[in-house]
Amino acid sequence: MKPDGIYLAGVNKIYKGRSKTVEALKDVSLSCPTSSFTALIGPSGCGKSTLMRIALGLETPDSGKVLLEGVTPAEATKIGKIGIAFQDAALLPWRSVRRNIEVPLNVLRKPIKDYTAKIQEMINLVGLNGFEDSLPGELSGGMRQRVSIARALVTTPKVLLMDEPFGALDQILRRQMNVELQRIWDETKATTLLVTHGIDEAIFLSDRVAIMHANPGKIVDIIDIPFERPRKMSLFSDTSFHKLSIQIAEILHGQ
Amino acid sequence: MVNEPSNSKTMYRNLILLVLLWEVVGRLDLVAGGALPSLSEIIIRMWIDRHDYPLHIGSTLYASSAGFLIGNILGVCAGVLFVLYPMTLRLSRGFNIAIFSLPPIAIAPILVITLSGMAPRIVLATMGVYFITMTATVVGLSQADSRTSELIRAYGGNKLQILRLVQFRSAIPSILAGFRIAAPNAVLGAILAEFGGGGRWGLGTYLLGSLGRGEPDRLWGIGLMATLISGASYFLFVVISNRFLKGSTSITLNTAIPTDITKNEHVLKTFFITMGAIFLPISIWWALIFFSGLPSMIAKTPWGVVEYLFFSNMAEAAQGRLVAAIAETLPITFIGMTAGLLFAFLLAIFSSLYFQVIRAFMPIALITQTMPLVALTPLLVLILGRGNSLTLWVTISVTFFPAFVTLTQGILLVPSLAKDLPKAYGGSKWQELIIVTIPASLPYLFAATRLTVPRALLGVMIAEWLATGKGLGNLLNQSRGYLDYGMIWTVAAVSVLLSIIFYQLVVYTERKVLGKLGMKTAE
Ligand SMILES: Nc1ncnc2c1ncn2[C@@H]1O[C@H](COP(=O)(O)OP(=O)(O)OP(=O)(O)O)[C@@H](O)[C@H]1O
Ligand SMILES: [Mg+2]
């Protein structure tokens, strides 16, 4: 049997601050089958980013098990199986768009010249052709965000972890990027975990929506999303889409 | 730094006015019966002396460039090490504070007796550079965007890759700024070492040699040349960093808090690290003596100094002289430093009321930063004679300017929004001053104090050494003459120790006061 793309079991994480202790994650288990798209939604401070950081190996859990494609996060990142996009584009201001996309390749010590075609493909994919040599300071917020998505995809990752990658975008651009992301995902079929604040975004993109509550941070429910792919913009105004949104909102607010 | 065209226009105007005034005053011999010659007289004299200059300049340039190079290499390497392994930073704290706060003139004689040729000058120049570049490197590297560092880490990158891909490049502006400040310091270090030890060539030697001959125009010429060299070294790096830093500033504010490494640490561990930090400089001193292979008569170990001061047959006499010297040096250091700081604080506060004043005065104040002020003491001797007022003025001048620059730049950083608040409620300029500007400039007052502590002691010791014949500076100079090695080492050790104590006192008060007010220390 093939291992799950993302597998977390019984993960606990407690932060001891100066004044109080925060149970950021309590007994969190989540398994995302290979090539599935999971959205993670929850109130601010419920531990979404913490979960993501643990999955990336940036933070060690107090207890519990984390596997990506059957190996530990540290091993998975080393062999370049992971793509990452953060809440904030986090670009290097002195590198051009193209050179920013090269960063993961630099870290993984891959020869850039084998990837020139791939890099161009990614730039085209996110619609930034013509801006290859621009510095991040010369781009709009949305364009920077798209650079970070291209950067996340350049290693052809098996697992894609994204923490509110569209957080900084306006509603219109956000919708456009949702459609783009769906297309990209369709092509790559990477196991994806997307942290988001938008219920509609979660439903539109994912196969399953995992809902979290805060204090302590835990996953309270996982809802399957039945819509056919590829999904179109018109889905946003569908009645069954609305029903599902309301259902998720109710779980989110604890009713 | 403020650098707009309209600004530089007023700066040039002020400079021209200054030079004209100088010319009139000099020609009419208004200052101390001709102790301040006019610029044209000085330049004519420089032309007459033109055959002396090349070798002196060459010698000073050689020592300061070598020191600059070595100090920067050491500073950058140490900075990288400290950031990669924060433990080493904590262990080296004592060493770093010692290097920062020791008055160079105090160890110049030691360097002269333990090393030979150009080495003492190069070492002193190196020491002037090391601390500045090291700090700039640490600050630059640790200010790097933690989000991009995390990205690298998330792709399995190690510390070295983070350093190479993110931190190093983003530290370059800070490191270049460090070079800029370090360059004049290298020149100053070389000149001070020339004061402190033999040798035939060097601007310091030339200055000292001409001091007794009552030729103000020559002395001023040498002083001007020294200023010119150190100013040029500063502006060289201004040009380089302006070239380099175009269009790559960070786009969003990095709000992540740097991780506190002392959190949850065992008390014993903290204790051992602190002990290590205290004993590291002492062990380095010991090791250097040991490996130099010099006779213990000349090169004293820490224990050698203790023995000299407490257990030798001259111990009592030595203690007496030392205590008397300290009693002469400390009060005037305090007075000079306090006066310099107070003067700077008042002027900075008041000029903040009149923004144009700051903007017009700032470039000139910045230029003074590049002058080897302490090394120009012989010029002040001409004007003020050899009394206590000389010591006082040297001390005030070396503390006033850096303090003024630090304070004014701090005040310029106060967000104008905060200033608008009292205004919006109809407050007067005075209310704005009391409610916003003064409290906001407090961290910078402390930063300025930290900065000026070692300079004040250096200023006093130089004046004592070269002119007044009092205090620690004189004791050092005398002991040098008598070949009283024990005393040379003792004075050096004591002045370093005094500096460290002063410095730590300021830091302690700063933490207490700012902590109470919920403010952060300014770097
Ligand atoms: N380094 C840390 N030290 C202490 N507490 C932390 C740390 N990081 C996160 N926390 C705490 O853990 C909890 C979860 O934080 P997390 O960043 O995972 O929330 P989130 O769900 O991503 O929120 P948001 O939607 O606002 O991004 C919060 O209460 C936060 O205060
Ligand atoms: Mg978050």
CB–CB of A127/A177 below 8 Å? no
Q: What is the pLDDT of residue B334?
A: 92
Beta strand ranges found along B345-458 (DSSP E)? none
Read off the amino acid at residue B454: P
Strand bridging mode A82-85 / A159-163: parallel
Phi, psi dihedral angles at B500 (to 5 degrees): -65, -40
CB–CB of A106/B165 below 8 Å? yes
Cβ contacts of A135 on chain B, cutoff 8 Å: 247-248
CB–CB of A80/A136 below 8 Å? no
Closest approach of chain A CAs to the CA of B61, in angstroms? Answer: 35
> Which has the higher per-residue pLDDT, B440 or A210?
A210
The residue with tokens 């224990």 is B303
Tell whether ligand 1 has an atom less than 6 A from the beta carbon of residue A50.
Answer: yes
The DSSP line for B83-95 is: HH-HHHHHHTHHH
Closest approach of chain B CAs to the CA of A104, in angstroms? Answer: 6
Tell whether ligand 1 has an atom less than 6 A from the beta carbon of residue A234.
Answer: no
Q: What is the mean pLDDT of residues A99-126?
A: 90
Q: Which residues contact B27 (CB under 8 A, 6 or more apart)?
A: B38, B41
Beta strand ranges found along chain A (DSSP E)? 6-16, 21-32, 37-41, 63-68, 82-85, 159-163, 191-196, 208-213, 218-224
Least confident of A26-35, B280-289, B375-384: B375-384
Calpha distance B378→B220 (Å, rounded): 9
Tell me: pLDDT of B247 over 50.
Answer: no
The closest ligand to the CA of A58 turns out to be: 1
pLDDT by residue (tens digit) across B134-170? 888 888 888 787 888 888 888 888 889 999 888 888 8
The whole-chain average pLDDT of chain B stands at 81
SS3 percent helix, strand, coil of chain B, rounded to 5, is: 80, 0, 20
pLDDT by residue (tens digit) across B62-106? 999 999 999 999 999 999 999 888 888 888 888 888 888 788 888
Tell me: pLDDT of A195 over 70.
Answer: yes
Q: What is the pLDDT of residue A244?
A: 94
**A16, A94, A108: residue with CB nearest B155:** A108
pTM: 0.78
Q: What is the pLDDT of residue A146?
A: 86
Tell me: pLDDT of A207 over 90.
Answer: yes
A78: number of Cβ within 10 Å: 17
Subunit contact B155:A58, Cβ cutoff 8 A: no
DSSP label of B437: I
Closest approach of chain B CAs to the CA of A135, in angstroms? Answer: 8
Interface of chain B toward chain A, CB-CB under 8 angstroms: 145, 147-148, 150-157, 161, 165-166, 169-170, 247-252, 264
Closest approach of chain A CAs to the CA of B155, in angstroms? Answer: 5
**Pocket perturbation via mutation, ligand 1, pick of A12, A25, A50 by most ligand atoms within 8 A of CB:** A50
Best interface-test mutation with B: which of A92, A112, A145, A153 has the largest number of B CBs within 10 A? Answer: A92
Q: What is the pLDDT of residue B318?
A: 87
Subunit contact B252:A88, Cβ cutoff 8 A: yes
Subunit contact A90:B251, Cβ cutoff 8 A: no
Least confident of B4-13, B210-219, B501-510: B4-13
B301: number of Cβ within 10 Å: 17
Distance B113 CA to ligand 1 centre (A): 60
B521: number of Cβ within 10 Å: 14
Calpha distance B513→B505 (Å, rounded): 12
Cβ contacts of A92 on chain B, cutoff 8 Å: 145, 148, 165-166, 169-170
Subunit contact A108:B148, Cβ cutoff 8 A: no
CB–CB of B140/A68 below 8 Å? no
- C-alpha of B354 from chain center: 29
Q: CB distance from A77 to chain B under 8 Å?
A: yes
A197: number of Cβ within 10 Å: 14
Q: What is the mean pLDDT of residues A24-35?
A: 93
Q: Which residues contact B138 (CB under 8 A, 6 or more apart)?
A: B79, B82, B83, B89
pLDDT grade for B275, boundaries at 50, 70 and 90? confident
Tell whether ligand 1 has an atom less than 6 A from the beta carbon of residue A45.
Answer: yes
Tell me: pLDDT of B446 over 90.
Answer: no
Subunit contact A58:B165, Cβ cutoff 8 A: no
CB–CB of B470/B333 below 8 Å? no
| Minimum Cα–Cα distance from B166: chain A residue | A92
Tell me: pLDDT of A73 over 50.
Answer: yes
First and final C-alpha spacing in chain B: 15
Tokens coding B183: 């360059």
**Pocket perturbation via mutation, ligand 1, pick of A20, A22, A197 by most ligand atoms within 8 A of CB:** A22
Q: What is the pLDDT of residue A138?
A: 86
Q: What is the mean pLDDT of residues B442-458?
A: 84
pLDDT by residue (tens digit) across B107-140? 888 888 888 888 889 999 999 899 888 888 888 8
Calpha distance A128→A71 (Å, rounded): 34
Subunit contact B156:A135, Cβ cutoff 8 A: no
Q: What is the pLDDT of residue B336?
A: 92
Segment B341-346 long-range contacts (CB within 8 Å, at least 24 positions apart): B341/B399, B341/B400, B341/B403, B341/B445, B341/B448, B341/B449, B341/B452, B343/B396, B343/B400, B344/B399, B344/B400, B344/B401, B344/B403, B344/B404, B344/B407, B344/B448, B345/B403, B345/B407, B345/B441, B345/B445, B345/B448
Subunit contact B154:A56, Cβ cutoff 8 A: yes
Tell whether ligand 1 has an atom less than 6 A from the beta carbon of residue A17.
Answer: yes
Distance A46 CA to ligand 1 centre (A): 7
Q: What is the pLDDT of residue B521?
A: 64
Calpha distance B400→B193 (Å, rounded): 24
pLDDT by residue (tens digit) across A161-176? 998 888 767 788 788 8
| Minimum Cα–Cα distance from A74: chain B residue | B156
Q: What are chain B's domains?
A: 35-244+261-300+311-517 (1.10.3720.10)
The residue with tokens 């003596």 is B289
Calpha distance B449→B410 (Å, rounded): 13
Helical (H) or strand (E) element with B291? helix B267-292
Q: Which atom of ligand 1 is nearest to the CA of A164?
A: 27
Tokens coding B59: 């010698």
**A82, A93, A144: residue with CB nearest B250:** A93
Nearest to B202 by CA among B214, B188, B215, B216: B188
DSSP label of A36: -
| Minimum Cα–Cα distance from B148: chain A residue | A90
Q: Which atom of ligand 1 is nearest to the CA of A52?
A: 18
Portion of chain A with pLDDT greater than 90, in percent: 48
